[in-house]
Amino acid sequence: MSVPRSCSFRTTESALILIDEKGPSFAMFQLRPRTGLHFFFLSTFILYLAVVSQSELFAQNPGFAKEPVIVEYDVDPAWPHYPEHVSKKGWVSGLAVDDQDQVWFFKKGPDPVQVYTADGKFVRTWGKDNFVNPHQLRIDHAGNIWVTDFGLHIVQKYTPEGKLLMTLGVRGEKGQDETHFNMPTDMAITRSGDIFVTDGYGNRRIVHLDKNGKFIKAWGEYGSQPGQFILPHAIVVDSQGKLYVADRNSGRIQIFDQKGQFLDQWSGLLMPWGLSVTADDDLWICGSSPHWWKRHGKYPEYKDQLFLKLANDGHVKSLWTIPLGDIGEDKNNPKVSRLKPGEAVGVHCIAQDSKGNVYVGDIYGERAQKFIPITKRSEEADSTDPGPQ
């Protein structure tokens, strides 16, 4: 039996009527069973009609959600568990998750590289006295750790235990040639080992090097046209080899192939500070709503703090707002104790683990936080109820 998707049920005092909204009523069932057995068969048949009707609806509309589903993110206020000998303070500017779901921080302070498990247990720290202005941390497919230090104008590659393997750029020297950077911000490492550096605060270009650090090419200049940059602040590469660049101060994501050919741009969504990409090629972005970056010599106060998930074709899959915290007027001397769990002031980096947990580094709030996805199904799915007016 097939029940049209346009059908509905009506009841009277003595009958159940099955109606086709696009035509005449076509069935009536008596609601006065004479025995318990009659009642059993009647109620079973009515339930059968309801199930068949719903199944027919979903068969005709496979994309139709059975129930409205909402994903919220709840902060884990106890994460991570800092040991007494490890510094808590310092801007968390870089953050990544390895293939064991261990979370890596890169931050200012005496313990710049810190590692924690997904449940918050301390693993290790290293890098004391190695860095001046830590900025971003990435993990390549072999498990090596890559960092940028814009104060030293370098990109470095380390083992997970902290042994230095490679330095790109000249330590303490800025420049715009094949061997120098000028305040680099981030790097993306492909499966083949090619290195793409956002160079950065000073040069407004992307630098491509081979797996041994040999210069291949660079592209980009200051400007707001496709292929130009106001500030290339973050970069990631997806499984297809496409490069996504967060041009932060112009409020856009630019997309390139690995030869530097401009492919597309997504603008007007937010001011993108940090990027990460999942195994399914979803792009996660953290930042704030679009605004003037600097006006009349002043930087703006943030309206909000956001993280956003986009498909690789640019359509929005998820948007979540983090409550904006209060650290006082001087961001260089913040009163971090004012912040509550789940609040943020300057989200700078973002990463996800295999279970969908989202980790966000906050520079002005001087901390990293873990947000756990909570899937909720609406208990009020009545489309005729407009809700509060």
Residues 6+ apart with CB under 8 A from 152: 131, 132, 133, 169, 171, 172
Instruction: State what percent of residues in the chain have pLDDT above 70.
Output: 77
Rounded percentage of the chain residues whose pLDDT exceeds 90: 70
Per-residue burial over 175-188, b = 16 or more CB atoms within 10 Å of its CB, e = otherwise: eeeeebbbbbbbbb
Report the alpha-carbon distance of residue 196 to residue 283 in Å, rounded. Answer: 17
Q: Domain ranges in the chain?
A: 7-65, 70-377
Lowest mean pLDDT among 61-75, 172-186, 243-257, 352-366: 61-75
> What is the C-alpha to C-alpha distance for residues 205 and 317, in angstroms, rounded to an integer?
29
> With bands split at pLDDT 50, 70 and 90, how would you rate the model's confidence at 337?
confident
Diameter over CA atoms, the chain: 95
Q: What is the pLDDT of residue 292?
A: 75
Predicted confidence band of residue 238 (pLDDT cuts 50, 70, 90):
very high
Q: pLDDT by residue (tens digit) across 124-176? A: 999 999 999 999 999 999 999 999 999 999 999 999 999 999 999 999 999 99
**Nearest partner of 125 among 117, 134, 116, judged by Cα:** 116
Tell me the pLDDT band of 303, cut-offs 50, 70 and 90. confident
Tell me, what's the pLDDT at 21?
A: 45
Backbone angles phi and psi of 362, in degrees to 5: -115, 115
- Whole-number pLDDT of residue 26: 42
Average pLDDT over every residue of 288-296: 79
Q: CATH homologous superfamily for 70-377?
A: TolB, C-terminal domain (2.120.10.30)
For residues 4 and 90, the model is more confident at 90
3-class DSSP state of 282: coil
In the structure, what pLDDT confidence band is assigned to residue 1 with cuts at 50, 70 and 90?
Answer: very low
d(CA 387, CA 389): 6
